[in-house]
Structure 1
Amino acid sequence: MRARLRRLTAGERQFIWMGRIAHVAGDGDCHRCVRLRVWGAGKNSQVLQADLLSKAVLPWGCATDDSYPTPRDVREVIDYALAHGWNPDLVGGAYLLGEDASGFELAGFLLTDRLRDDGAPDPTVRVLQAFRAP
């Protein structure tokens, strides 16, 4: 199955983005994760990558989680990355937005490094903390 590329316009620039659904294992459960990739100046431009961990707490875990970022979520990721050093006009490479992104939050997602690093903080603990937070 081919990846679906979507378009999003922000100001004068058009961004192309895609989300690939994955799952990450935590100590207590499996969690849905969407690897978001965004290009702002063509296929050879520096890609923005963010792994979005669903905050959903469901009885059957990732098997029933249908969370997926909306265009508004993607726009928030883009705006944050642009304000914190992502230059989509650069050629090649990736700008990784990870758990260390201070002050970044989406309504339904957390940033995770677990897809790239098995030693990253346990997603189950992080999801439960977000679920319990006021």
Structure 2
Amino acid sequence: MRARLRRLLAGGREFVWKGELHHVSGGRDCHRCVRLRVWGAGKNSRVLQADLLSTAVLPWGCASDNSYPTPKDVREVIDHALRRGWDPDAAGGVFFLGEDEHAAGFELTGFLLTDRLRDEGAPDPTARVLSAFQRATGSPP
């Protein structure tokens, strides 16, 4: 099955994006993760990639999580990447919004950045997910 490409107008420019669903293992649970990929100047342009970790805490874990970024969320990711140096007109390559470099300054309701999807040795995301859930709801998970 082919991934569906979506279009988004931002700042007078058209971007094309897709989200791929994945699961990331944590110490206590698995977590839903959406690999977001965005192109700003065609298929040969530098792609923006962000692995978005869902902050939902549900009784049945990632099996019942249906989190998925909205076009508004994608716009926020694009704006953040542009402020951090992503050049969508550059040819080839990937601009990663990684956890180590970008997580501290990144805020997106319902999601965190993670490196765990592309690096199994990256930090366990469970503590960050539980902390984000508690901040959002004001109650422990």
Specify if TM > 0.5. yes
The CA deviation string for residues 13-38 of structure 1, in whole angstroms up to 9 with x for no partner, is: 10000000000000100000000000
Is the counterpart of residue 111 in structure 1 residue 122 in structure 2?
A: no
What letter is aligned with 1:110?
L
Shift of residue 132 of structure 1?
Answer: 1.5
Q: After the TM superposition, which parts of structure 1 deviate over 4 Å for at least 4 consecutive aligned residues?
A: none
TM-score (norm 1): 0.97
TM-score (norm 2): 0.93
How many residues matched?
134
The CA deviation string for residues 27-57 of structure 1, in whole angstroms up to 9 with x for no partner, is: 1000000000000000000000000000000
Does the residue aligned with 2:105 lie in a helix, a strand or coil? coil
Does the residue aligned with 2:44 lie in a helix, a strand or coil? coil
Residue of structure 1 in register with 2:79 after alignment: 79
Residue of structure 2 in register with 1:31 after alignment: 31
> In angstroms, what is the RMSD of aligned CA positions?
0.8
Shift of residue 11 of structure 1?
Answer: 1.5
Gaps of at least 5 residues in structure 2 are none
Counterparts in 2 of 1:88-107, with a 5 A limit? 88-99=88-99, 100-101=101-102, 102-107=104-109
Report the more deviating stretch, 117-126 or 86-95: 117-126
Shift of residue 65 of structure 1?
Answer: 0.2
Question: Which structure's residues are more often helix, by fraction?
Answer: 2
What letter is aligned with 1:56?
A
Residue of structure 1 in register with 2:16 after alignment: 16
From 120, 127, 130, the counterpart of 1:128:
130
Query: Among the aligned pairs, what percent are the same residue?
Result: 74
Residue of structure 1 in register with 2:58 after alignment: 58
Taking the aligned partners of 1:71 and 1:24, their CA distance within structure 2 comes to 23
Residue of structure 2 in register with 1:49 after alignment: 49
Taking the aligned partners of 1:8 and 1:131, their CA distance within structure 2 comes to 29
